[in-house]
Amino acid sequence: MCICINCRHIHLCKTYEFIEKQHLNDKASKKRNSFIPIKTMIIVRINKQHLNIYLDWDLKECSSFVEQPGNWISLL
């Protein structure tokens, strides 16, 4: 699971915007994100189901992370 959902910077974060684009989420492209976090580590899991391959993108580590549980709810 991406740690972004509990971060104070989720609404402005360029890395979160990138991950959302990888998940093909159209909402991400409509935002103007300006916050560039430092020392991030993105994990990409490769999942194969029958003949289809899916990539799952998650942010695992971020030095700019500031915990604010539930902050992502307003993104819905």
Q: What pLDDT sits at residue 71?
A: 79
Rounded-to-integer distance, Cα 48 and Cα 55, Å = 9
Q: Mean pLDDT per segment of 10 residues, for the chain of length 76 residues?
A: 87 90 69 87 93 92 93 72
Task: Name the E strands within the chain.
Answer: 40-49, 52-62
Q: What b/e readout covers 40-61, taking b as 16+ CB neighbours within 10 angstroms?
A: beeeeeeeeeeeeeeeeebbee
Q: What pLDDT sits at residue 23?
A: 82
Question: What are the structural domain ranges in the chain?
Answer: 3-65
